Structure 1
Amino acid sequence: MPSSVIRSYSYSAKKSELTITFVSGRRYVYADVPQDVFDAFRAATSKGSFFNSEIRDCYSCFQLSS
């Protein structure tokens, strides 16, 4: 999963939560992300571009402590 912005990600279908770890080391949990949005994110050629247009500022989030 090469990305210049996103180091890793995981998704909980049960909670509809997307957890993203950025290359900076910061980790955020995005709430109420539908499965189809996660599937599209996972399939996206550019994870960073998809994140910026379809996830960031579209879902509530909180930062996990490092």
Structure 2
Amino acid sequence: MVYAVGYDEDTKDLEVVFNTGKIWVYKDVPPDVYKKLLNSNSVGSFMLNNIIDCYSEDRIN
């Protein structure tokens, strides 16, 4: 589901590259949520339960 993630601490933007090649940016994601994402057993499940539809999002491509 998730190929790569990146996080900007200044803007709190979480950038996610999915296996499909689509890139989404999730806005105002708190640093602790990003850290929990990185430490989760399943990044995909964490995204579905804690980020997707929980934060404002923009598709980049």
Q: TM-score, normalised by structure 1?
A: 0.90
SS of aligned partner of 1:28: strand
**How far did 1:31 drift?**
0.1
**Ranges in structure 2 where 5+ consecutive residues have no aligned partner:** none
**How far did 1:46 drift?**
0.1
**Ranges in structure 1 where 5+ consecutive residues have no aligned partner:** none
- Counterpart position of 1:38: 34
- Counterpart position of 1:16: 12
For residues 39 and 7 of structure 2, the distance between their equivalents in structure 1, rounded to whole angstroms, comes to 14
Q: TM-score, normalised by structure 2?
A: 0.98
After TM superposition, where is structure 1 displaced by more than 4 Å over at least 4 residues in a row? none
SS of aligned partner of 2:46: helix
**Superposition RMSD in Å:** 0.5
**How far did 1:6 drift?**
0.2
**How far did 1:48 drift?**
0.3
The number of equivalent residue pairs is 61
For residues 12 and 45 of structure 1, the distance between their equivalents in structure 2, rounded to whole angstroms, comes to 22
